[in-house]
Amino acid sequence: MNTQDFYIGKQFNFLKSMSFAEKEVLLNHSSKLEIKKGEVIFFEDEHLKKLYCISNGACKFSLIDNKGKEHITKLLGEGDLMGRRSIITNKGALVTATAITNTILYSIDKDPVLLSLEKNNEFCQDVLKGFIDDMEDDAKKITYFQNNKKLKVRLAGLLLYLAHKFGTEKKGWINISLRRQDMADILGTTSEYVISLLTSFKNKNYLELNRGNIKINSNQKLITLMNSN
């Protein structure tokens, strides 16, 4: 594998903090995985033997409650890592990771990662910064949509969050097509209600809909709605 493949690891900046020998070890213990939409990468409570980095596509972290309902806790995109906590603590994963688009991952064996953490202080600091990035993202989600405001307000925030995290293509369409059920699971409501709200937003010209795709016509209108009570 070419070292260029790892530049996408926003939270895994080992190219600057590792020696040539350390890089070679990791590269020799890594592989490229092509994951289909809907495929599970790892399950809740699974003890992981690999660290995963998203090269292209998107994944979700989720939990299943005692009634069998899924709760999506995090959306992940290009450059995000999965499994870091589990391999460091040697404990089972807290969540299930599932591809929500066709996704390309790079997996790295656990042992050389742990050895580098033990031997290389700069690399250890990079990994710690990744945990801080996660905390900042969690705070952002509270601002955008994980709060006690009305559902239409939180949906506006979720759409802005998706556009910010995954970006938009040239014509303005958000780069991720999220199932309405997934949006409902994030917001704690039903897919029918999400569809109704999206239709209302469309009628007010806040956005455009094309099958599963969404284009925001007015960021400012959604921001104003998100900031309302």
Structure tokens at 82: 């999965």
Confidence label for 130 from pLDDT (cuts 50, 70 and 90):
confident
Q: Domain range spanning residue 74? A: 3-136
Predicted pLDDT of residue 123: 84
My answer on whether 81 and 12 are in the same domain is yes
Same domain? 11 vs 102:
yes
- CA angle, residues 223, 227, 229, in degrees to nearest 5: 140
Q: Do 151 and 177 belong together in one domain?
A: yes
Residue 54 shares a structural domain with residue 104: yes
Say if CB 101 and CB 177 are below 8 A apart.
yes
> What pLDDT score was predicted for residue 4?
47
Same domain for 11 and 88, yes or no, is: yes
Higher pLDDT, 13 or 93: 93
Residues 149 and 124 in one domain: no
Q: Which residue has the tokens 């031997």?
A: 119
What CATH number is associated with residue 189? Answer: 1.10.10.10
- Final residue in a domain of this structure, among 136, 156, 185: 136
Torsion sign, CA atoms 126, 131, 133, 136: negative
On whether both 109 and 191 belong to a single domain, the answer is no
CATH number at residue 50: 2.60.120.10
* pLDDT reading at 59 higher than 60: yes
Q: For residues 189 and 7, what is the distance between their CA atoms, to the nearest angstrom?
A: 37
Q: What is the mean pLDDT of residues 132-139?
A: 88
CB atoms within 10 A of CB 170: 5
- If one counts the domains in the chain, the total is 2
Statement to judge: residues 43 and 87 lie in one domain: yes
8 Å CB contact between 39 and 99: yes
Rounded to two decimals, what is the model's pTM? 0.87
Residue after which a domain boundary falls, among 110, 136, 162: 136
Question: pLDDT (tens digit, 9 = 90+) per residue, 65-114?
Answer: 888 889 999 999 988 899 999 999 999 999 999 999 999 999 999 999 89
- Residue in 191, 185, 198 with CA at minimum distance from that of residue 155: 198
Q: Is 10 exposed, middle or buried (0-12, 13-18, 19+ CB in 10 A)?
A: middle
Do 194 and 117 lie in one domain? The reply is: no
Task: Mark whether 114 and 194 lie in a shared domain.
Answer: no
